[in-house]
Amino acid sequence: MQTNKILGIILVIASLTLGYFGINKVSDSSAEVKVLGIEIDASNKSEKQEGFIYLGLAILLFAGGIKMLTKKGTE
């Protein structure tokens, strides 16, 4: 039972880390430049897509970690 809690905590911490990297990838994948009153928007779709994949994996890891933390042992 103690092993489940340790693994659950590790999964939750890993999900938070992966979510942080995913959010940074999504937010850093686009930039705006203003030149002479004209706004130019540049976006890197592959980095944005990779960021969303990180966020999806983070959600799955978080759900798995919470499941392991709330799971009752079979004693």
Is the residue at 75 inside a domain? Answer: no
Is the residue at 24 inside a domain? Answer: yes
Total number of domains in the chain: 1
Mean pLDDT confidence for 25-43: 75
Identify the burial level of 21 via C-beta atoms within 10 angstroms of its C-beta, where 0-12 means exposed, 13-18 middle and 19 or more buried.
Answer: middle
Residue identified by tokens 């992966």 is 18
pTM of this prediction? 0.75
Q: How confident is the model at residue 36 (pLDDT cuts 50, 70, 90)?
A: confident
Identify the domain containing residue 32 by its residue range.
2-70
In total, the chain counts a number of residues equal to 75
**Does 74 have pLDDT greater than 60?**
no
Is the residue at 35 inside a domain? Answer: yes
More confident residue, 50 or 75: 50
For 28-33, the CB contacts below 8 A with 24+ separation are: none
